[in-house]
Structure 1
Amino acid sequence: MRGLMPGLALAALAGAAPATVAPPQASLRAWDFAVTLDGKPIGWHRFRLVPGAAAGTRMLHSEAQYRVSFLGIPVFRYDHEAREQWQGDCLSALSASTDDDGRKSGVQADLGADGLRITRSTPGAEQPPPPQVASGCIMSFAYWNPAMREQSRLLNPQTGLIEAVQIAQLAGGSLTAGGQVVAAERWRISGAASPIDVWYTADGDWVGLDAQVGGTRKLSYRLQ
């Protein structure tokens, strides 16, 4: 059941933000998603977008929690927290931590003269992987930002890896979001571990997500 969060997570619970990340102020936007696995509730994922301290910057704070049980016995847990700083549509700082069913990891990123410097950490590892530097404008799996749909590479805040992706619009449909049925466009992200379908209104508002996990199981987000 590892990897229930494909690229998302925007995301550990006591992770400290880098010095360049300002504390949240009044929210610009907020998204609260109910998370289901094969139609059964397992948790939530929340996002808060706020103005940054510097002009033209934004801060995104996200938290996720999943709990899966079988016959009343807990069999899987997942906690993820991330703080991202954005300059326009480009990521300029990231602090993320994940507890994937007991396997903990962290990712830090800061923008320097040569690009976005990304450092990964895994408690207990004999030797941490070397930092990597990504040049150009880097975005994470920022489903909330329609500009993500124009990208060919995305930073996974759970693994700290830059992933090559292909993003294309598919046939749309309807889904229940915010307590009502809404028409939605569907965009598929391919190239990650498994395809991710992201749902938007015609105005570009993110309202849902579907992904295959564990081979045949369906993980879904629906806006509350």
Structure 2
Amino acid sequence: MKRYAAWWVCLALAGSAGAVDARTTTFTVLLDGEPIGEHRFVQTPQRDGLLELTSEANFQVRLLGVPVYRYQHRAQELWQGDCLQTLKASTQDGGESTQVDASRVQGALVIETGERRQQVDGCLMSFAYWNPVMQRQNRLLNVQTGRIEQVQLTRIETAQIDVRGQMVSAQRWRLSGTERPLDVWWTAQGQWVGLDATVSGGRKLSYRLR
């Protein structure tokens, strides 16, 4: 039951105590259509055009009422435009814990985990589904593992998706290059409203905007 989220959880939106104009977005997390928890995002503009981001995920899978898997994730990010400036993320994925830190030094993003340190030149995004600019990226930072993933996003179709109890027209994009492909849903206006992926055991993990 482990590692349901290792390849995508780099999602993030942001928050900061005392900051103004914060916007909170919450997704219900489902496994085979049954709610197992939530992922909450807060987005807060800062001075000098910066954006502070925080995401918190907490979900649990039970079998016959007994917890068999638990996932907890928290990430704090600072963005300038579409470029990641700093990151501090910690994840509890089943029985495994990881931590990733990153900061921009002289034009490069320095990424550190407990196992390695690497430097990436130029602008880099994480799996920031909240920003539709992600559709044009071919490399993304996985904030759970600290690895740079070579990815491709391809528009598949426009279809109806359940958003807050109503059917809404949205565009489905296929993200490939990760351990398992996944589908991301954006409206025509670029709002992220859903995500679907096949995980361990052939089960379906979904995010739906609450």
TM-score bin (small chain): over 0.9
Partner of residue 39 from structure 1, selected from 29, 33, 38:
33
Show the counterpart of 2:199.
213
After superposition, the CA RMSD in angstroms is 1.6
- Could you report, residue by residue, the CA deviation over 1:24-72 in whole angstroms, capped at 9, with x for unpaired residues? 62345332100000111111001111012x3111011100011000011
Displacement of 1:158 in angstroms is 0.4
Q: Does 1:97 align with 2:98?
A: no
The CA distance in 1 between the partners of 2:18 and 2:145, in whole Å, is 25
One-letter code aligned to 2:30: T
The number of equivalent residue pairs is 207
Once the two structures are TM-superposed, the CA of residue 213 in structure 1 deviates from its matched residue by 0.7
For each residue in 1:141-188, what CA deviation from the matched residue of structure 2 results, as whole angstroms up to 9, or x when unmatched?
000000011000000000010000011100121111122110110111
Q: 1:169 to 1:70 in 2, by over 3 A?
A: same
How much has 1:3 moved relative to structure 2? 1.9
Q: Which runs of 4+ in 1 moved over 4 A?
A: 21-24
Confirm whether residue 171 of structure 1 aligns to residue 157 of structure 2: yes
Residue 204 of structure 1: aligned partner: 190
Task: Kindly indicate whether residue 2 of structure 2 is the aligned counterpart of residue 2 of structure 1.
Answer: yes
Find the aligned partners of 1:46 and 1:63 in 2 and give their Cα distance. 5
Question: Structure 1 pair 66/216, CA: closer, same or farther in 2 (3 Å)?
Answer: same
2:167 to 162, 181, 192: 181
Question: How high is the TM-score relative to the length of structure 1?
Answer: 0.88
User: Any idea what SS the aligned residue of 1:55 has?
Assistant: helix
State the AA in 2 paired with 1:34.
T
Q: Residue 149 of structure 1 aligns to a residue in which SS?
A: helix
- Larger deviation, residues 83-92 vs 172-181: 172-181
Alignment of 1:81 with 2:82, yes or no, is no
Unaligned segments of structure 1, at least 5 residues: 12-20, 122-128
Task: Supply the distance in 1 between the matched residues of 2:18 and 2:120 (Cα, whole angstroms).
Answer: 27
Identity among equivalent positions (%) equals 49
| Structure 2 unaligned regions, length at least 5 | none
Normalised by the size of structure 2, how large is the TM-score? 0.94
Q: Secondary structure of the equivalent of 2:58? A: strand
- In 2: Cα distance, 1:61 partner to 1:24 partner: 14
Which of 112, 129, 140 is the matching residue for 2:126? Answer: 140
Q: 1: CA distance between counterparts of 2:3 and 2:203?
A: 12
